[in-house]
Amino acid sequence: MPELPEVEIFKRRLDATCLGRTITGVSIRDRRIIGKSSPARLVAKLKGALLRATRRHGKYLLVALDKGGWLVMHFGMNGSLQHFGRDDEDPPYDRLRLDFGDDHHLAYVNPRLLGRVELVADADAFVAKEKLGPDVLDAGLGLAEFAQAVAARKRDIKSVLMDQAVVAGIGNIYSDEILFQARLDPHSRADRLDRGDLKRLFNKTKSVLRTAIRRGSGSEQMLERLPRGFIIRERKKGGRCPRCGGAVAAIKFSGRTSYYCPRCQPAPR
Ligand SMILES: [Zn+2]
Q: How far is the CA of 4 from the centre of ligand 1 (A)?
A: 25
Q: How far is the CA of 162 from the centre of ligand 1 (A)?
A: 22
Q: How far is the CA of 255 from the centre of ligand 1 (A)?
A: 24
List, in sequence order, the alpha helices (H) in 57-191: 123-129, 143-151, 157-162, 172-181
Positions annotated as catalytic residues are 2-3, 59, 256
The whole-model pTM stands at 0.94
Buried b (16+ CB within 10 A) or exposed e, 140-164: ebeeeebbebbbebeebbbbbbbbb
Q: What is the residue-level pLDDT of the chain in tens, covering all 269 positions? A: 899 999 999 999 999 999 999 999 999 988 888 888 889 999 999 999 999 999 999 999 999 999 999 999 999 988 999 999 988 888 888 899 999 987 899 999 998 888 899 999 999 999 999 999 999 999 999 999 999 999 999 999 999 999 999 999 999 999 999 999 999 999 999 999 999 999 999 999 999 999 999 999 988 888 889 999 999 999 988 999 999 999 999 999 878 899 999 999 998 77
In degrees rounded to 5, what are phi and psi of residue 244? -110, -10
Q: How far is the CA of 232 from the centre of ligand 1 (A)?
A: 13
Q: How far is the CA of 243 from the centre of ligand 1 (A)?
A: 5
What order of strands is seen across the sheet that includes strand 23-28?
Answer: 23-28, 94-100, 104-109, 80-85
Q: How far is the CA of 229 from the centre of ligand 1 (A)?
A: 11
Give 124's contacts (C-beta < 8 A, 6+ positions apart): none
Cα–Cα nearest to 219, from 159, 146, 169, 160: 169
Q: N- to C-terminal Cα distance for the chain?
A: 32
Q: Which of helix, strand or coil describes residue 192?
A: helix
pLDDT at 37: 81
- Residue ranges and CATH numbers for the domains of the chain are 4-129 (3.20.190.10), 143-260 (1.10.8.50)
